[in-house]
A and B are shown apart, each in its own frame.
Chain A
């Protein structure tokens, strides 16, 4: 477990992070969410020992990174936003170098590299110069470097920035796989990424932690109503009448015809009542088949915008 206690980093009169406190529990995938410039990278850099905090401390299982840097750093793998690569080396040379500085026993290097390369799927480029690889492969090599030495904790700072959609999905899948055997911290400003991959989220804004909880608790906490979109084949007025007659339905509005002979409705119900079964039965009884139901619950975007205080893009 990592305990981050009252971390503050000042640059002149400006606070990059201020009194940041949170814990990273063993075995979890934690999302560290914030806008660009919110203090994510500064926090990650302090946690990994790259820079020092002005105040506060970082403890890994009770060991302070400043007092026992070697012990703590050996147990943390870090992929910074820009992968720390040597472009003049081949992938294999680079990873062997990473093994050497991360104190992997010489006899175990070969098998370890084989495992890591298989995991991040870079086996086919091991002999190639890093400078000739695509951005996606470079990111994977950076990720492989973070896995060298089999650290308990892997910290990934914006790992999908600049990748194409296919590469993004591959990296996310990989992060989920890593989460089975490691504690993973995923720092990102991409909300869908965090929602897709992480179990718990810490949100940072202007250097301060503004929320930390499980994703489901965060989304539950923000609204009192449950919102969904349904598509009903048949008459718009009949469907609206049936929907308005449901117990617990607080708000019904038609958003018009979305496909031939079918209308979409937005329905809000009290969060205490699940009206879906009742709605299905009532519509079936009225001969109005429901051909789609999509919960449009409070999203991470909503939470994020609420917590960061304004409606500008994240």
Chain B
């Protein structure tokens, strides 16, 4: 797993993908911070992260689109799948590499916290809570993107589908109210990432929220393993 993590992480920065992701995220979040916080003299860090929450929907697929689709296209997955590595460790290694880039990007946004700290008072409890929530929400998007990348050979297809799915996860809260039937709305509710992020954005660090994000990511990573394994058994 460590070898996969290291290779993927290096690959992000050998190509432009890692720089594009980090640069674009920090640029957009910097603009939002400037308008929402600096110009209005607002020192609300959880609110700041909440205002960033749309950005991963469109940007996270940049990190995840190539994870498996590129391996399939270049046939390099043959090296991985015929090695002694387990499928779970391959999937986990790739997930952790994308998560590391996401983590590093969020570390970059701490500059905004420093700026707020220079001119106002910081409430570390709520900053930590909101950052944990935002980080774990990103992990869910990575897991979803990895599953989609494992399902197609084309990176662009993977990116477009990922954006669509991420967007659906974002608007799901609004959809729940118009969907008839208790069962369907309960199922949809389970997928509502933003509903789970909301308490974090209001500086409430809840164990159930953390557990939800972790289990959401695990389910999608498990599905990724199943998709790859199913393809090996495929008779279609």
CB contacts under 8 Å to B, within A32-46, are: 45
> Would B235 and A54 count as touching, CB distance under 8 A?
yes
Provide the residues of chain A in CB contact with B7, threshold 8 Å.
86, 89, 97
Q: A26 vs B84: C-alpha distance in the bound complex, in angstroms?
A: 21
> Would A84 and B4 count as touching, CB distance under 8 A?
no
Q: How many interface residues does A have (CB within 8 Å)? A: 34
Rounded to whole Å, the gap between the CB of B208 and the closest CB of chain A is: 37
Whether B79 is near chain A, meaning CB under 8 Å from some CB there, is yes
Whether A306 is near chain B, meaning CB under 8 Å from some CB there, is no
Provide the residues of chain A in CB contact with B75, threshold 8 Å.
80, 82, 84
CB contacts under 8 Å to A, within B211-232, are: 232
> Would B4 and A101 count as touching, CB distance under 8 A?
yes
CB contacts under 8 Å to A, within B69-123, are: 74-86
Residue of B nearest to A76 (CB): B82
Provide the residues of chain A in CB contact with B77, threshold 8 Å.
84
Whether B236 is near chain A, meaning CB under 8 Å from some CB there, is yes
Whether A195 is near chain B, meaning CB under 8 Å from some CB there, is no
Q: With A74-B84, A86-B11, A101-B80 known to touch, is A11 a contact of B3 (CB < 8 Å)?
A: no
0/1 string, A65-94, CB within 8 A of B gives 1: 000011101101010101011111100010
Q: How many interface residues does B have (CB within 8 Å)? A: 27
Within 8 Å by CB of B78, from A9, A10, A80, A98, lies A80
> Would B81 and A50 count as touching, CB distance under 8 A?
yes
CB contacts under 8 Å to B, within A1-45, are: 9-12, 45
> Would A88 and B85 count as touching, CB distance under 8 A?
no
Provide the residues of chain B in CB contact with A103, threshold 8 Å.
84
Residue of A nearest to B229 (CB): A52
> Would B82 and A73 count as touching, CB distance under 8 A?
yes
> Would B76 and A48 count as touching, CB distance under 8 A?
no
Residue of A nearest to B233 (CB): A52
Q: A54 vs B232: C-alpha distance in the bound complex, in angstroms?
A: 10
0/1 string, B1-39, CB within 8 A of A gives 1: 011101100110011000000000000000000000000
Q: A78 vs B74: C-alpha distance in the bound complex, in angstroms?
A: 16
Provide the residues of chain A in CB contact with B79, threshold 8 Å.
84, 98, 101, 145
Whether A51 is near chain B, meaning CB under 8 Å from some CB there, is yes
Whether A100 is near chain B, meaning CB under 8 Å from some CB there, is yes
Rounded to whole Å, the gap between the CB of A149 and the closest CB of chain B is: 8
Rounded to whole Å, the gap between the CB of A266 and the closest CB of chain B is: 47
> Would A49 and B82 count as touching, CB distance under 8 A?
yes
Provide the residues of chain A in CB contact with B74, threshold 8 Å.
84-87
Within 8 Å by CB of B82, from A78, A82, A86, lies A78
Whether A231 is near chain B, meaning CB under 8 Å from some CB there, is no
Rounded to whole Å, the gap between the CB of B201 and the closest CB of chain A is: 38
Q: A145 vs B76: C-alpha distance in the bound complex, in angstroms?
A: 12
Q: A49 vs B77: C-alpha distance in the bound complex, in angstroms?
A: 12
Q: A9 vs B15: C-alpha distance in the bound complex, in angstroms?
A: 38
Residue of A nearest to B77 (CB): A84
Q: What are some 19 contacts across the A-B interface (CB < 8 A)?
A: A9-B235, A11-B236, A12-B235, A12-B236, A48-B82, A51-B232, A51-B233, A51-B234, A52-B232, A69-B84, A80-B78, A84-B74, A84-B76, A89-B14, A97-B7, A98-B79, A100-B3, A101-B4, A101-B85
The 4 residue pairs across chains A and B that have the minimum distance between CB atoms = A100-B3, A84-B79, A101-B83, A84-B76
Residue positions of A touching B, CB distance < 8 A: 9-12, 45, 48-52, 54, 69-71, 73-74, 76, 78, 80, 82, 84-89, 93, 97-98, 100-103, 145
Besides A70-B86, A86-B74, 20 new A-B residue pairs in contact (Cβ under 8 A), listed by A number: A9-B235, A10-B235, A12-B235, A12-B236, A45-B78, A49-B81, A50-B81, A50-B232, A52-B232, A70-B84, A82-B75, A84-B74, A85-B76, A86-B7, A89-B14, A97-B7, A98-B83, A100-B6, A102-B83, A103-B84
